[in-house]
């Protein structure tokens, strides 16, 4: 076959795939033509005002994703030195309390990169304030909170993008569509990375550093003493992400990347598993899910952030936006892998959201999708905490005949916070 014709057909497929995924961007440009043409660059009043809620490591990465379509108009964090640094860097307003940021008329949309226990309140309050939302994964701390977030986004007609950025990466889009369309044949099993479930908080109290509003950091969680090992988000076995009061652990952090691919490839974006079983004991034991059609998903061995689809015709592996094919000819029409994740692929997801803010189209990882992916991880955590097999009803979003498990679908919030 003529190579130029092959390249052209791949490019056409690539563009069509992105359109089907809800991406209105014409590649390789990810900003509008008026931004690229200097005489027609938008003035300050034409640019989308973005507020950042949370200024940790992930926020610093997303700052590099910004284009001239948007401008940072406000930032918020409970640690004063971070606010001071960001307001100076971006010449914007700074706040300690996110509720004050949401009152600003200069903020059109918010990017939320706070710990998991804050996501539900901040997303819901942003929607109530008329702001669009980008919320980092995992979307929620509990299943009940996730459903409340979905309802708020829909009720207030907001555009909400959730963090799993492989949804906007060409190689992953093509691979998951390939699996979902049946081209891999009947799926025999899927493998995802086995990530750990969080444990109870067990650190001794220490004085909080100057400038940190620890009570506001805790927010809706119960009162626990500060310990320096909680920061950063994850460091070995420590960090707030390792503890149950504030996170679903690496299971909902790194784990949701692979689980999102798995749900996507299986066509389960609006559904989920029907059973989960721990294959052992403890917070790191392998897990096995069962999906409709007798598809088995195993959390055992897969590249971090990835999923391995094993079908009748071969195997497709997707991880961190890279797709590999066995046998290789299965991927002969696939777009090439983009090797540099944060430099090239990371910004695609954020910028796709920017485009949706203007078009009002649904983004590549909408709130329902983000909720369903987080739910898969949540029910796996519950199976480990309870140490037994659980049957799950994805339509009702409840466990079947198990009051003890259903009690874990929500958690109390400290007054005056509530969903």
Tokens 């100057």, located at residue: 210
Higher pLDDT, 42 or 165: 165
Sheet holding 109-112, edge to edge: 93-95, 70-76, 48-53, 109-112, 132-135, 160-162
* Res. 43 pLDDT band, cuts 50 70 90: low
Strands 314-319 and 187-193: unpaired
* Res. 301 pLDDT band, cuts 50 70 90: confident
What pLDDT, on a 0 to 100 scale, did the predictor assign at position 346?
72
pTM of the model: 0.89
The DSSP element (H or E) to which 62 belongs, if any, is helix 57-63
Count of CB atoms within 10 A of residue 352's CB? 24
Q: What span, in angstroms and rounded, lies between the C-alpha atoms of 251 and 233?
A: 14
Answer whether residue 23 shows pLDDT above 90.
no
Q: What is the pLDDT of residues 166-208, one digit of tens each?
A: 999 999 999 999 999 999 999 999 999 999 999 999 999 999 9
* Res. 343 pLDDT band, cuts 50 70 90: low
What pLDDT, on a 0 to 100 scale, did the predictor assign at position 283?
97
What's 199's DSSP letter? B
Q: What is the pLDDT of residues 392-404, one digit of tens each?
A: 999 999 999 999 9
What pLDDT, on a 0 to 100 scale, did the predictor assign at position 54?
98
What pLDDT, on a 0 to 100 scale, did the predictor assign at position 344?
53
Q: Cα–Cα distances in Å, from 286 out to 9, 49, 237, 330, 387?
A: 42, 44, 18, 30, 12
Higher pLDDT, 8 or 153: 153
Answer whether residue 286 shows pLDDT above 60.
yes
Ranges of H-type helices in 156-280? 170-180, 214-218, 249-252, 254-265
Q: What span, in angstroms and rounded, lies between the C-alpha atoms of 197 and 3?
A: 49
What pLDDT, on a 0 to 100 scale, did the predictor assign at position 340?
57
Answer whether residue 32 shows pLDDT above 60.
no
Q: What span, in angstroms and rounded, lies between the C-alpha atoms of 221 and 75?
A: 23
Q: What is the pLDDT of residues 125-169, one digit of tens each?
A: 999 999 999 999 999 999 999 999 999 999 999 999 999 999 999
Count of CB atoms within 10 A of residue 336's CB? 11
Contact 411, 141 (CB under 8 A): yes
Write the CB contacts of 333 (distance below 8 Å, at least 6 apart in sequence): 9, 10, 13, 174
Q: Which domains are assigned to the chain? A: 3-166 (3.40.50.720), 170-198+249-337+366-409 (3.30.360.10), 200-243 (no CATH)
Average pLDDT over residues 75-101: 98
What pLDDT, on a 0 to 100 scale, did the predictor assign at position 42?
53
Q: What is the pLDDT of residues 353-367, one digit of tens each?
A: 999 999 999 999 999
Q: What span, in angstroms and rounded, lies between the C-alpha atoms of 163 and 348?
A: 11
């Amino acid at each position: 076959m003529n190579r130029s014709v092959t390249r052209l057909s791949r490019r056409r497929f690539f563009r069509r795939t992105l359109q089907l995924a809800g991406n209105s961007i014409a590649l390789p440009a990810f900003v509008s033509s008026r931004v690229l043409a200097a005489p027609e660059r938008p003035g300050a009043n034409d640019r989308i005002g973005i507020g950042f809620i949370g200024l940790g490591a992930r926020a610093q990465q997303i700052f590099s994703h910004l284009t001239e379509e948007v401008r940072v108009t406000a930032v918020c964090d409970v640690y004063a030195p971070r606010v001071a640094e960001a307001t100076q860097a971006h010449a914007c307003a700074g706040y300690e309390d996110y509720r004050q940021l949401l009152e600003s008329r200069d903020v059109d949309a918010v990017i939320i990169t706070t710990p998991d226990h804050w996501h539900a309140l901040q997303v819901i309050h942003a929607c109530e304030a008329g702001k669009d939302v980008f919320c980092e994964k995992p979307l929620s701390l509990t299943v009940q909170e996730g459903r409340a977030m979905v309802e708020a986004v829909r009720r207030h007609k907001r555009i909400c993008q959730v963090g799993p950025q492989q949804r906007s990466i060409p190689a992953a889009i093509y691979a998951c569509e390939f699996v979902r369309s049946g081209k891999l044949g009947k799926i025999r099993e899927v493998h995802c990375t086995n990530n750990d479930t969080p444990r109870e908080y067990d650190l001794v109290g220490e004085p909080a550093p100057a400038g940190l509003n620890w009570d506001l950091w805790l927010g809706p969680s119960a009162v626990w003493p500060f310990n320096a090992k909680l920061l950063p988000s994850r460091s070995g076995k420590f960090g707030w992400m390792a503890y149950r009061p504030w996170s679903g652990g690496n299971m909902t952090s790194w784990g949701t990347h692979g689980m999102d691919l798995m749900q996507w490839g299986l066509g389960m974006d609006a559904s989920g598993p029907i059973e989960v079983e721990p294959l052992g004991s403890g917070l790191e034991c392998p897990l096995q899910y069962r999906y409709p059609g007798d598809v088995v998903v195993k959390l055992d061995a897969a590249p971090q952030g990835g999923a391995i689809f094993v079908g009748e015709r071969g195997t497709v592996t997707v991880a961190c936006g890279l797709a590999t094919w066995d046998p290789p000819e299965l991927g002969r029409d696939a777009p090439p892998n983009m090797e540099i994740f944060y430099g090239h692929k990371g910004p695609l997801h954020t910028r796709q959201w920017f485009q949706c803010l203007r078009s009002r189209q649904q983004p590549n990882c909408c709130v329902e999708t983000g909720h369903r992916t987080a739910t898969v991880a949540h029910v796996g955590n519950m199976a480990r905490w309870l140490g037994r097999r659980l049957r799950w009803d994805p339509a009702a979003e409840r466990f079947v005949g198990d009051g003890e498990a259903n009690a874990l679908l929500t958690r109390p919030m400290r007054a005056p916070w509530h969903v």
